[in-house]
Amino acid sequence: MVIALIEDEATVKRFYRDKGKIKLQPENDAMEPIIVDPTDKNIMIIGKVEGVIRKV
């Protein structure tokens, strides 16, 4: 999972490389994946999700 910045909006998605493109797959099945060209200047991968902390 990665944190991506797409046109100034941050999102957390699963990251896949597919036929020269980047596929950002949401966990929510009701949402469509985002397919982008790696040279697109409107997208930046900010970081990788290493863990999740939740209040119990």
Percent of the chain clearing pLDDT 90 (strictly above): 93
Cα separation, 56 vs 40, in Å, equals 40
CA 32 centroid distance within chain:
12
DSSP character for 32?
Answer: P
Length of the chain: 56
Residue 52 pLDDT > 90? no
Cα separation, 37 vs 19, in Å, equals 10
The whole-number pLDDT of residue 56 equals 87
Residue 44 pLDDT > 90? yes
Which is nearest to 11 in space by CA: 20, 2, 19, 23? 2
Average predicted confidence (pLDDT) for the chain: 94
Pairing relation of β-strands 34-36 and 21-25?
Answer: antiparallel
The pLDDT tens digits of the residues spanning 22-39 come to 999 999 999 999 999 999
